Amino acid sequence: MTCKGKLIIILLGPPGAGKGTQAKLIENKYNIPHISTGDILRDAIDKNSTLGKNANDYMHKGELVPDDLVFDLIKERVENPDCKYGALFDGFPRNLAQAKMLMNIQYVKQSKNFFVFLINISDDEAIRRLSNRRYCPKCKSIYNLIHKIPERKKNGIYLCDNCGTELIIRDDDKVETIKNRLKVYHESAEHMINFFKELSVLHIITNSIEQDVFRDITRIIEAESTLEKD
């Protein structure tokens, strides 16, 4: 599907809500790039760039990295030609200041199709999902031991189905860090959610099953946007 004008989608929700999974499905359906600030920051840490060095300590503790780092990253990213017809933000904005910044950039102001989806799950469910998550440090594939179980194990350690690398638990998916991430989420998300509610762009998704969440999201986009079928 293509769209007249830009399609901008924001996915909100606690860590573990499945934003990354939905993002991949949305990206494929609407041909807009998936911009995950978490992925960009993790990549910067892997490359040991200045951004990575500045973000590292915050991320390992489950804290938010400073807003100015994220603003610069987003402003630069939306200049990329692949964002011409829109973008899907996952993990950004994270607080009211970031939400206001986003609404103020020209890129967003020009969009007629602007959607914010909040995928709601409980803290217990978030902890259950994240503590069962396994990550491939090489090809970045994500698994979980509840419903996306890797096929092979070596010496008790799961291997990536894709490239055979030993899977790890990401530092920020360790239980203590998860609890801190949830605390940070609750502290910083409320004002941002109210802000989007007042702008009448917020859609709350209460389903938690992957296919149902995607169905709800696409129904709303198709009912309310100026999208055209190819």
Query: Could you list the residues that contact ligand AMP (CB under 6 A)?
Result: 15, 37-38, 41, 58-59, 62-65, 70, 91-92, 94, 98, 172, 181
Q: Which of 6, 42, 133, 134 is catalytic?
A: 133
Q: Kindly tell me which of 1 and 169 has the beta carbon lying closer to ligand AMP.
A: 169
Cβ contact 62:89 at 8 Å: no
Residue 157 pairs with which residues in a beta bridge?
A: 154
Q: Which of 148, 170, 174, 179 is catalytic?
A: 170
CB 57, min distance to ligand AMP, A: 9
Q: Which of 19, 42, 129, 134 is catalytic?
A: 19
Catalytic (active site) residue 128: no
d(CA 1, CA 27): 11
CB 141, min distance to ligand AMP, A: 15
Q: Kindly tell me which of 93 and 150 has the beta carbon lying closer to ligand AMP.
A: 93
Residue 171's alpha-carbon distances to 79, 134, 143, 155, 181, in angstroms, are: 31, 11, 15, 21, 12
Tokens 């069962």 belong to residue: 132
Cβ contact 18:120 at 8 Å: no
Q: Kindly tell me which of 17 and 217 has the beta carbon lying closer to ligand AMP.
A: 17
Q: What phi, psi does 94 have (nearest 5°)?
A: -115, -15
With 0-12 / 13-18 / 19 or more C-beta atoms within 10 angstroms meaning exposed / middle / buried, residue 5 is middle
Catalytic (active site) residue 219: no
Catalytic (active site) residue 94: yes
Catalytic (active site) residue 129: no
Tokens of 166: 């030993």
CB 63, min distance to ligand AMP, A: 6
**Host H or E run for residue 115:** strand 113-119
Q: What phi, psi does 110 have (nearest 5°)?
A: -80, -10
Catalytic (active site) residue 152: no
Q: Kindly tell me which of 58 and 85 has the beta carbon lying closer to ligand AMP.
A: 58
CB 120, min distance to ligand AMP, A: 16
Q: Kindly tell me which of 18 and 86 has the beta carbon lying closer to ligand AMP.
A: 18
Instruction: With H, G, I as helix, E, B as strand and everything else as coil, classify residue 35.
Output: strand
Q: Which of 6, 94, 129, 134 is catalytic?
A: 94
CB 59, min distance to ligand AMP, A: 4
Which residues are catalytic, by number?
19, 94, 133, 170, 181
